[in-house]
């Protein structure tokens, strides 16, 4: 009874505003806002397998209703109450914590939005952006770490700029996981199954530039989005709403790029960004998607420290190059005094670029020889005059011109035993040596989950031809400055031929290291020492064999869309005293980054196969 009285009192006390809100609630329900795509996007609702809605946000303060994670409707009602009803507004009010929802609801319900003047923290956040536009920034390939070919994306909010200005002090917004363990196994598993919380963070762009351009020597490409001022503001409002929540991080699906795309889409639902994404989200695919749909209005490029060095080096004349080479290779702090001043400046500047690229970690340590070298060159440079910097060219390889990451293929062929075969293949990601170059790094292959099935015509049976979990090749041609290794690694199962059996299947791994030489940019020779363990039930005697031996090959790139690859490999198994040889020649021509056609001739021990291949990228 007292409880009932209390309730009645409460009702009396709040009734004037409650009356208005329930009117608003009714209006919202009449408009079916709980099913409105913009509302669903703003709270990250996704339909589950059973057809119910569930929000991807995992921090529960993101919801005002106890059922909020699973009920767009309850959450809508509760938000209308909280945003339009609260008598006093401060930083903890729904009005201040969820400005994007407030803006959306006021617009849809055609009511005046309560002022956000009392929202001090939010206002400070908003004004620190000084944003005129927003760019999606793609950090490409990390040299010698092919798995970074997937790239990374984050946002940069562009301040108004004059021509000579810099974007370094703009603010960027990043989505990343905060792993609580560095144990590689937990790290991996946790990344795959969502153990780590992913959070949004805001950091000055110069921070990201140091991280990617300098420390990791990765190019940064910026794609300025064609958003209205209203959409841009709504994006900042929506990012603020992520302040206290997190999303369980899934490496392949709910990753950095995915949450950026859904955040942008929530602010600009007309873009329909998430509908074209694969269930797994590869950052470079999100760039292709933005570009293809014409949502990009400006592209800019910031070279990695490696490309800064290479670019500036290419501007040197012959004698300057010779002196720069001498200094870099001998690590000398003394620039020849016989050179004219202009040449000495060019040589020192290029050497400084080299040190910035090659030794950016070492020069942090004052007692290292690299620091001493760098410092004495700087001392010399400081007393020489200022010169105009060169304008570096954009590389021909651009991330937005790549082929889509998934690939399906068919092939037809016959072998020298006159048996025809047909194959279909499916590759989850990303790029092989013969695929159209587009936006992918040259002389590099990285394939994940590549599966091929085959039908040999006389057997009338579909069988597994190969299933490669991972297949990576990195060819680093030696040059005047870099003597890096080339290597390859693969793991999976494949069909093989030897004297014991033809078309047998086994588990295999390949590890190879060697060197590559590129006499011109269009041709590359390589030589490896390879070890390939194969385990197969079909082997007579020992089921596990290890073939060790040399491999030689070449790769010719007459054009971005036409490539030739050939290799010869000879392996010897010492326990069984048998050898294994493979020779292959492949040609492939591609069309519009969508299709490619090729031929392959492969001689494996005594079995020769010729086939025609066609691939589709999607």
Partner 1 sequence: MSKLLIAITVIATAYSFSASAAGYGTAGCGLGSMVFKDQKGAVQIFAATTNGTFGNQTFGITTGTSNCNDGKNLIGAYINTNYDAIKTAAARGQGEALTGLAKVYNCGSHELSQALKTNYQEVFKSQDAQETKAHIDNVINSTPALKATCQA
Nearer to partner 1, 192 or 529 (CB): 192
Residue (85 or 211) nearer to partner 1, CB: 211
Instruction: Please check whether residue 72 is in contact with residue 35, taking contact to mean a CB–CB distance below 8 angstroms.
Output: yes
User: Both tokens of residue 263?
Assistant: 């955040």
- Supply the minimum distance, in Å, between the C-beta of residue 545 and partner 1: 14
> In whole angstroms, how close is the CB of 165 to partner 1 at the nearest point?
7
CB of 216 to partner 1, least distance (A): 7
Residue pair 407/449 in contact by the 8 Å Cβ criterion: no
Residue with tokens 């793609």: 138
Least distance (Å) between residue 113 CB and partner 1:
22
Nearer to partner 1, 8 or 378 (CB): 378
> Which CB atom, from 444 or from 611, has the smaller least distance to partner 1?
444
Nearer to partner 1, 80 or 316 (CB): 316
SS3 letters across 406-460: CEEEEEEEEECCCCEEEEEEEEEEEECCCCCCCCCCCCEEEEEEEEEEEEECCCC
How far apart are CB 468 and partner 1 at their closest, in Å?
A: 10
| DSSP states of 530-591 | EEEEEE-TTSSS-SEEEEEEEEEEEEEEEETTEEEEEEEEEEEETTTTEEEEEEEEEEEEEE
Interior angle at CA 15, CA 12 and CA 18, nearest 5: 150
Cβ-based nearer residue to partner 1, 176 or 515: 176
Rank residues 171 and 555 by Cβ distance to partner 1 and give the closer one.
Answer: 171
Q: Nearest distance from residue 313's CB to partner 1, in Å?
A: 16
Of 177, 181, 152, residue with least CA distance to 247: 177
Helix runs in 86-129, H state only:
94-97, 99-109, 120-129
Q: Provide the 3-class DSSP secondary structure of residue 367.
A: coil
* Shortest Å, Cβ 547 to partner 1: 17
Using the structure block, give the residue that is written with the tokens 């910097």: 389
Q: Label the pairing between strands 477-478 and 504-520.
A: parallel
Indicate the residue among 366 and 540 with the shorter CB distance to partner 1.
Answer: 366
| DSSP codes joined into one string, 465-534 | EEEEEEEEEE--EE-SS----EEEEEEEEEEE--SS-SSEEEEEEEEEEEEEEEEETTEEEEEEEEEEEE
Report the nearest approach of partner 1 to the CB of residue 266 (Å). 15
Cβ burial of 52 (10 Å; 0-12, 13-18, 19+) is exposed
The least CB distance from residue 450 to partner 1, in Å, is: 13
Cβ-in-10-Å burial (0-12, 13-18, 19+) of 253 comes to middle
CB of 322 closer than 8 Å to CB of 410: no
Comparing CA positions, the residue from 314, 140, 309, 143 lying closest to residue 223 is 140
Least distance from partner 1 to the Cβ atom of residue 533, Å: 10
* Least distance between partner 1 and beta carbon 75 (Å): 21
Closest CB to partner 1 among residues 195, 481: 195
State the Cα–Cα distance between residues 89 and 70, nearest whole angstrom. Answer: 27
C-alpha to C-alpha distance for 610 and 279, rounded to whole angstroms = 35
β-pair partners for 546: 533
Residue 143 corresponds to which tokens in the numbers above?
């040299």
Query: 283 or 439, CB closer to partner 1?
Result: 283
**Closest distance between partner 1 and the C-beta of residue 160, in Å?**
12
Nearer to partner 1, 198 or 399 (CB): 198
Rg (CA), the chain: 30
Min dist. Cβ of residue 581 to partner 1 (A): 25
Q: What are the residues whose beta carbons fall under 8 Å from the beta carbon of 96, sequence distance 6 or more?
A: 89, 90, 116, 118, 119, 121, 122
- Considering beta carbons, is residue 15 or 364 the nearer one to partner 1? 364
Shorter beta-carbon distance to partner 1: residue 167 or 323: 167
In whole angstroms, the minimum distance from the beta carbon of 383 to partner 1 comes to: 8
Closest to partner 1 by CB, 156 vs 456, is 156
């Amino acid at each position: 009874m007292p409880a009932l009285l209390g309730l009645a009192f409460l009702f009396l006390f709040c009734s004037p505003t409650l009356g208005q809100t329930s009117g608003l609630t009714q209006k919202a329900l009449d408009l079916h806002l709980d099913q409105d795509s913009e509302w669903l996007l703003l709270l990250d609702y996704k339909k589950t397998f059973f057809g119910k809605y569930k929000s991807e946000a995992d921090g529960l303060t993101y919801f005002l209703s106890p059922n909020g994670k699973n009920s767009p409707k309850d959450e809508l009602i509760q938000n209308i109450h909280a945003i339009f009803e609260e008598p006093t507004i401060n930083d903890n009010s729904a009005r201040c914590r969820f400005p994007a929802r407030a803006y959306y609801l006021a617009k849809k319900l055609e009511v005046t939005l309560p002022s956000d003047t009392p929202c001090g923290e939010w206002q400070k956040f908003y004004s620190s952006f000084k944003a005129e536009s927003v760019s999606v920034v793609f950090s490409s390939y990390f040299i010698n770490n092919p798995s970074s070919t997937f790239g990374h994306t984050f946002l940069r909010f562009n301040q108004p700029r004059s021509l000579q200005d810099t974007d370094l002090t703009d603010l960027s917004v990043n989505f990343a996981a905060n792993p609580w363990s560095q144990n590689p196994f937990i790290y991996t598993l946790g990344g795959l199954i969502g153990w780590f919380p992913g959070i949004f963070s805001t950091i000055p762009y110069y921070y990201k530039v140091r991280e990617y351009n300098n420390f990791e020597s990765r190019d940064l490409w910026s794609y300025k989005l064609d958003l209205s001022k209203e959409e841009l503001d709504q994006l900042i409002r929506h990012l603020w709403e992520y302040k206290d929540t997190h999303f369980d991080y899934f490496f392949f699906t709910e990753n950095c790029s995915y949450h950026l795309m859904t955040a942008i889409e929530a602010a600009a639902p007309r873009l329909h960004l998430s509908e074209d994404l694969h269930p797994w989200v590869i950052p470079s695919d999100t760039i292709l998607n933005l570009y293809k749909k014409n949502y990009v209005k400006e592209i800019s490029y910031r070279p990695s420290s490696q490309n800064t060095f290479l670019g500036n080096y290419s501007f040197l004349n012959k004698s300057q190059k010779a002196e720069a080479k001498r200094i870099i290779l001998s690590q000398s702090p003394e620039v020849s005094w016989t050179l004219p001043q202009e040449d000495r400046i060019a040589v020192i500047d290029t050497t400084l670029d080299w040190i910035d690229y090659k030794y950016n970690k070492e020069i942090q340590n004052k007692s290292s020889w690299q620091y001493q070298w760098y410092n004495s060159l700087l001392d010399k440079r400081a007393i020489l005059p200022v010169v105009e910097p060169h304008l570096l060219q954009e590389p021909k390889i651009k991330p937005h011109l790549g082929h889509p990451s998934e690939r399906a293929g068919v092939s037809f062929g016959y072998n020298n035993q006159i048996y025809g075969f047909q194959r279909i293949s499916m590759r989850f990601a990303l790029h092989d040596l013969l695929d159209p170059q587009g936006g992918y790094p040259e002389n590099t292959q990285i394939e994940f989950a590549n599966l091929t099935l085959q039908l040999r015509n006389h057997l009338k049976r579909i069988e597994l031809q190969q299933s490669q979990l991972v297949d990576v090749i990195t060819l680093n041609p030696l040059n005047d400055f870099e003597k890096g290794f080339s290597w390859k690694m693969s793991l999976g199962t494949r069909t093989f031929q030897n004297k014991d059996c033809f078309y047998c299947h086994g588990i295999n791994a390949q590890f190879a290291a060697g060197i590559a030489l590129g006499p011109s940019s269009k041709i590359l020779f390589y030589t490896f020492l390879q070890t390939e363990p194969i385990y197969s039930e079909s082997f007579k005697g020992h089921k596990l064999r290890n073939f060790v031996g040399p491999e030689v090959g070449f790769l010719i790139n007459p054009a971005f869309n036409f490539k030739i690859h050939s290799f010869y490999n000879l392996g010897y198994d010492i326990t069984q005293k048998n050898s294994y040889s493979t020779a292959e020649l492949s040609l492939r021509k591609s069309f519009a980054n969508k299709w490619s056609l090729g031929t392959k001739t492969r001689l494996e021990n005594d079995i020769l196969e010729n086939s025609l291949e066609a691939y589709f990228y999607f």
